[in-house]
């Protein structure tokens, strides 16, 4: 059993192991450290002697590490007595069970006392089971930065006395939005990387899908959880067609829709149906927009009028300049570029997306459709200068170059 096997088991079992240890030690930081030490030991010992029950081995080893740490803390000897007792901790490693401990772990990792960056790093570490190196690669930051965020997060949780327990029902619903936003940020970075030389970071995106599925299993009566899951599934369904063999972006109009993942589309539509039980929230509305794209045989056959209406509804309940910009794109497809250009120019006048490459990207596309080639080229060149993702930048520069020639 090699490193890849250890990593696979850890990805599946890490959340339950950390949750079980935290429940028994009462110390979230200690539990996470002990679990990481167990993984390190597995990397050394499993290649020569693979355990019959890998999850149980990790739990037992992590428990021993926790006991060793507690022994070194004289003030916690009473906890050592509790933990050292053969109190059926191994019962927590049931491969077919997802219990409230994992849900509590999500709420702790996404606690409001933490910064957004710390929430993302801690969730990927303790719930998704990613290493500091993997998180650093995903978000293109140095490994020490990720390690510092995780260390500070654990210290902040300890200093704030955050209990390892599910929040009361009312508070849980209030804080659920924070958990959803962390998963959404992780998925968004995976589906269109903000910087670097890859358009997609599918490993990151699929971790977010896994987190969304776990949360939906734990909170089956929360429509917005299913809305986020639907959005992730429907968006990820297009991944196979979004890049060419060399990793270059393939625009929606040029994608081979036969390459879309139709199983993911079915899962997404099922989740969207569950999200619709009490009316769609922000994630559900975004999922409905993704469903309109996923259900259309071509760009031209897409129900753009419906997408415009959905963006208008989204803008009413969760207004943002990005929503308005996306509405402009849909309006351009439904009613023509002139009407959409007025929306984009109003966004620019209000300075609601300063420094974003998205605004000049959309404005350049609209100007090109209106035949204003030199203005369009200038906008696309500006967008390329502002864009940090090398793959997106190359597309923008290619489009700008195609507009060179006689001025309008």
Q: Is the pLDDT of residue 66 over 90?
A: no
Degrees to nearest 5, angle at CA 235 with 233 and 241? 115
* b (16+ CB within 10 A) / e for 123-149: bbbbbbbbbbebbbbbbeeeeeebbeb
**Which pLDDT tens digit goes with each residue over 318-374?**
999 999 999 999 999 999 999 999 999 999 999 988 889 999 999 999 999 999 999
Contact 209, 234 (CB under 8 A): no
Contact 130, 124 (CB under 8 A): yes
**Predicted pLDDT of residue 91:** 43
Query: Residue 47 corresponds to which tokens in the numbers above?
Result: 């290649």
**Predicted pLDDT of residue 97:** 44
42/39 Cα distance (integer angstroms): 5
397/90 Cα distance (integer angstroms): 57
Q: Is the pLDDT of residue 169 over 80?
A: no
Residue 50, sorted as left (phi over 0), alpha (psi -120 to 50) or beta, turns out to be beta
**Predicted pLDDT of residue 77:** 53
Query: Residue 65 corresponds to which tokens in the numbers above?
Result: 């590490």
Contact 265, 294 (CB under 8 A): yes
Q: How many CB atoms neighbour CB 197 within 10 A?
A: 12
**Predicted pLDDT of residue 87:** 44
Q: Is the pLDDT of residue 165 over 90?
A: no
Q: Is the pLDDT of residue 93 over 70?
A: no
**Which pLDDT tens digit goes with each residue over 297-308?**
999 999 999 999
- Residue 133: which residues within 8 A CB-CB, separation 6 or more? 143
Q: How many CA atoms lie within 13 A of 246 on its CB side?
A: 3
Calculate mean pLDDT across residues 376-399: 94
pLDDT above 90 covers a percentage of the chain that reads 48
**Which pLDDT tens digit goes with each residue over 263-276?**
999 999 999 999 99
Q: What does the DSSP assignment read for 91-140? A: GG--TT---HHHHHHHHHHT-TTS-HHHHHHHIIIIIS---HHHHHHHHT
**Predicted pLDDT of residue 130:** 79
Q: Is the pLDDT of residue 7 over 90?
A: no
Calculate mean pLDDT across residues 100-129: 87
pLDDT band at 81 (very low <50, low <70, confident <90, very high): low
């Amino acid at each position: 059993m090699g490193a890849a096997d250890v990593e696979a088991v850890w990805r599946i079992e890490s959340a339950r192991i950390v949750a079980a240890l935290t429940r028994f030690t009462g110390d979230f930081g200690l539990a996470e450290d002990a679990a990481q030490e167990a993984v390190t030991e597995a990397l050394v010992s499993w290649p020569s002697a693979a355990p019959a029950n890998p999850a149980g081995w990790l739990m037992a080893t992590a428990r021993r590490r926790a006991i060793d740490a507690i022994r070194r803390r004289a003030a916690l000897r009473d906890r050592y007595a509790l933990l050292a007792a053969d109190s059926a901790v191994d019962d927590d490693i049931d491969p077919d069970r997802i219990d409230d401990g994992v849900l509590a772990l999500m709420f702790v990792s996404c606690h409001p006392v933490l910064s957004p960056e710390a929430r993302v790093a801690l969730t990927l570490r303790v719930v998704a089971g990613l290493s500091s190196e993997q998180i650093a690669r995903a978000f293109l930051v140095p490994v020490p930065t990720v390690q510092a965020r995780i260390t500070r997060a654990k210290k902040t949780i300890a200093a704030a006395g955050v209990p390892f327990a599910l929040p009361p029902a009312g508070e849980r619903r209030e804080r659920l939005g924070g958990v959803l936003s962390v998963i959404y940020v992780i998925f968004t970075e995976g589906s269109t990387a903000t910087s670097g030389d890859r358009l997609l970071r599918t490993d990151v995106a699929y971790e977010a899908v896994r987190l969304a599925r776990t949360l939906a299993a734990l909170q089956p009566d929360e429509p917005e959880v299913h809305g986020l899951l639907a959005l992730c599934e429907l968006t990820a369904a297009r991944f196979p067609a979004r890049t060419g063999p060399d990793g270059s972006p393939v625009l929606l109009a040029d994608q081979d829709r036969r390459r879309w993942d139709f199983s993911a589309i079915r899962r997404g539509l099922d989740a969207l149906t569950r999200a619709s039980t009490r009316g769609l929230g922000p994630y559900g509305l975004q999922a409905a927009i993704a469903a309109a794209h996923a259900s259309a045989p071509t760009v031209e056959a897409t129900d753009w009028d419906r997408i415009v209406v959905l963006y208008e509804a989204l803008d009413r309940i969760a207004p943002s300049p990005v929503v308005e910009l996306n509405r402009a794109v849909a309006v351009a497809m439904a009613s023509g570029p002139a009407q959409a250009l007025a929306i984009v120019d109003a966004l620019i006048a209000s300075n609601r997306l300063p420094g974003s490459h998205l605004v000049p990207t959309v404005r350049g596309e609209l100007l090109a459709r209106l035949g204003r080639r030199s203005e369009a080229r200038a906008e696309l060149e500006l967008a390329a200068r502002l864009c940090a993702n090398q793959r997106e930048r190359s597309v923008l520069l290619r489009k700008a170059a195609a507009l060179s020639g006689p001025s309008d």
